[in-house]
Structure 1
């Protein structure tokens, strides 16, 4: 912004100097040129005009001729000196008009290195920024439509099942009490699936809208992770998975938003739960180095391609789950994307290392002294 302001200021100053210089040069040259012509013609005009007119008229004709000569030379020289600047200014005006009419692909063709050339570069830069903003607006609109489409599809599936089970129960279309309980159990599971979908969507929209005010506080990550694993182990055991814990028992402190970090870790664990080969093992690690605290979830699953690996943190992307994990509710494909946003909110990094079906998801968080609260302007130093 300051650069554009000073460029415009320098451009105006340069135009004024050029205009003043051209004006003075034209005046001086016109004056001397007219004097020279008058000296030449003063020997010719008396012989042509004086015999026909009196002295006063001759003086008037001479003065008029001098003035017209001066005016002619002045306009000719001034136009000659200013024509290049006028042409450049017209080019700038035409370019601005084309961009104003919506042709954001137009670029002002002024390759010069002077002030007008710099103004042309700034106009082209402005057009590029406007073009990028328009593309981002289109992408946002496309994303909104994709969001509505995906959510509608993901919510319709469990809702259809719930309606089906409720119709069976309403019409007493079951054989015995066990089948009645099974219908109720299945309908309840579908409602839980819908709740998770809605919770994921709500969390995703909050994180992506920028309307998030994280509350950082200093906690012991060892104790937090221990509590998460205690709640996670029974679910894993039901699916023939064991959880291996690998971290020191010494306190490891960091400034984090506890609720959001728990959500990110839980999403990684649930992802491992869905896509692990069963029976199998999920390894959870917590360590630190000189700059970061590293949380790791390792599991064995079906290998994925490099293209699939790149898409895992994209929203709504769902890898094909294991054929033996149908008891795990499917999500909307937002889990890893939500975890990614939460980690970025903490100033950290999330990633994946994959080798022949051995998946290693990791979260790197800055240590307490390096965490910056992005949305609230608060820093921990």
Structure 2
């Protein structure tokens, strides 16, 4: 906006200067043109009007022709000087009117390096910005509808199962105590699935709305990762997956929000759990590189396309059913997106390397001594 405002001021100043310059040049040119006409008339009129009694008519005719010639030269020169400017201004006005009428694809065809050319460039830039803003607004509206659709669908599936099991229990429609316990166990698992979906949705909205208050502390990532894997290994073993740890024993410290970093790492591990070939292996690496701590989760799965790779960190994106593990409940497609936001809030980077079904999701975090403040609040380390 400041750029457009300054351009408008420069444009007005340039138009005034050009108008003044055209006026002065037209006056000077008209003066010299009139002088030439007068010299010609002073030579030719005495040859035509020779009577002394007609000397007054000669003077009057000379003055009238001088005025008319001055006015003619002035208007002619001024018109030709201002014509290009008027044409450019009209082009700018037509472009602004087209954009104002909603044609944001219109671009002012006014090349040039002068001030009017700069104004045209700024008008085109303004149209691009308006187009981008409207596109973002449409995306927001579409996202709201997608949010409602996905949440409704993802919550309805486990809720339908819970209602079904509760109806069976209410009507005593079971064979024995073992079947009764199985119904209760299945209903409980569905409630846990619903809780996971709601937690993911709540966490995602809180992270994207800017309301997330992170509590940072210096921790040893070695110890934290060891604890996470101990809790994760029994789940992996049930699905015929082995966990391999690959890091040195030396401590690697980072300045993180423990709860949210654990969630990000857990989301990467659950993603590997869902999409690994079974039986198989998941490798967790932790290493130091320059001023970064790099955590990586590797697994083998079905290959995906480059287009699918770009969508993995998008919200609500889910892999095809062929890639999903049937024994692992489907989520809302927010896991990797949540991990992405959490890592960004830590000043780090999350990414994927993929080659022929070998997936490596990595998190890069600054080492503890590289961080001295977060969001304006300083903390000594």
- Fold shared by both chains (TM-score > 0.5): yes
Say if 2:275 and 2:325, in contact at 8 Å, map to a contact too. Answer: no
Are 2:80 and 1:80 aligned?
Answer: yes
Q: 1:43-122 residue pairs with structure 2 within 5 A?
A: 63=63, 65-122=65-122
Are 2:270 and 1:257 aligned?
Answer: no
- The more displaced of 153-162 and 66-75 is 66-75
Q: 1:367: Cα distance to partner?
A: 2.2
Aligned to 2:297: 297
Say if 2:297 and 2:362, in contact at 8 Å, map to a contact too. Answer: yes
Say if 1:346 and 1:373, in contact at 8 Å, map to a contact too. Answer: no
* SS of aligned partner of 1:341: helix
Q: CA RMSD in A?
A: 3.0
Q: 1:263: Cα distance to partner?
A: 0.8
1:174-205 CA distance string (max 9 Å, x none): 22222222111111111111111111112222
Q: 1:119 to 1:268 in 2, by over 3 A?
A: same
Cα distance in 2 for partners of 1:91, 1:292 equals 54
Cα distance in 1 for partners of 2:67, 2:302 equals 95
Q: 1:162: Cα distance to partner?
A: 0.9
Cα distance in 1 for partners of 2:20, 2:131 equals 38
Q: 1:65 to 1:279 in 2, by over 3 A?
A: closer
Q: 1:42: Cα distance to partner?
A: 5.0
Cα distance in 2 for partners of 1:228, 1:49 equals 119
Say if 1:291 and 1:366, in contact at 8 Å, map to a contact too. Answer: yes
Q: 1:48 to 1:172 in 2, by over 3 A?
A: farther
1:112-134 CA distance string (max 9 Å, x none): 22221121112112212222222
Aligned to 1:226: 226
1:200-221 CA distance string (max 9 Å, x none): 1122222233443433332221
Aligned to 1:205: 205
Aligned to 1:362: 362
Q: 1:106: Cα distance to partner?
A: 1.1
1:91-130 CA distance string (max 9 Å, x none): 1111111111111111111122222112111211221222
Q: 1:50 to 1:80 in 2, by over 3 A?
A: farther
- The more displaced of 337-346 and 101-110 is 337-346
Q: 1:188 to 1:51 in 2, by over 3 A?
A: farther
Cα distance in 2 for partners of 1:291, 1:235 equals 34
* SS of aligned partner of 1:181: helix
Say if 2:49 and 2:58, in contact at 8 Å, map to a contact too. Answer: no
Aligned to 1:189: 189
Say if 1:274 and 1:321, in contact at 8 Å, map to a contact too. Answer: no
* SS of aligned partner of 1:287: strand
Say if 2:218 and 2:368, in contact at 8 Å, map to a contact too. Answer: yes
Cα distance in 2 for partners of 1:78, 1:304 equals 68
Q: 1:365 to 1:170 in 2, by over 3 A?
A: same
Cα distance in 2 for partners of 1:250, 1:185 equals 43
TM-score normalised to structure 1 length:
0.87
Cα distance in 2 for partners of 1:261, 1:354 equals 23
Which sections of structure 1, spanning at least 5 residues, go unmatched?
none
* SS of aligned partner of 2:250: coil
Cα distance in 1 for partners of 2:65, 2:325 equals 106
Q: 1:61: Cα distance to partner?
A: 6.6
Say if 1:300 and 1:358, in contact at 8 Å, map to a contact too. Answer: yes
1:59-82 CA distance string (max 9 Å, x none): 677655544443333222212211
1:219-261 CA distance string (max 9 Å, x none): 2212222222232233333434333332223221111222221
TM-score normalised to structure 2 length:
0.87
Which sections of structure 2, spanning at least 5 residues, go unmatched?
none
Cα distance in 2 for partners of 1:21, 1:323 equals 74
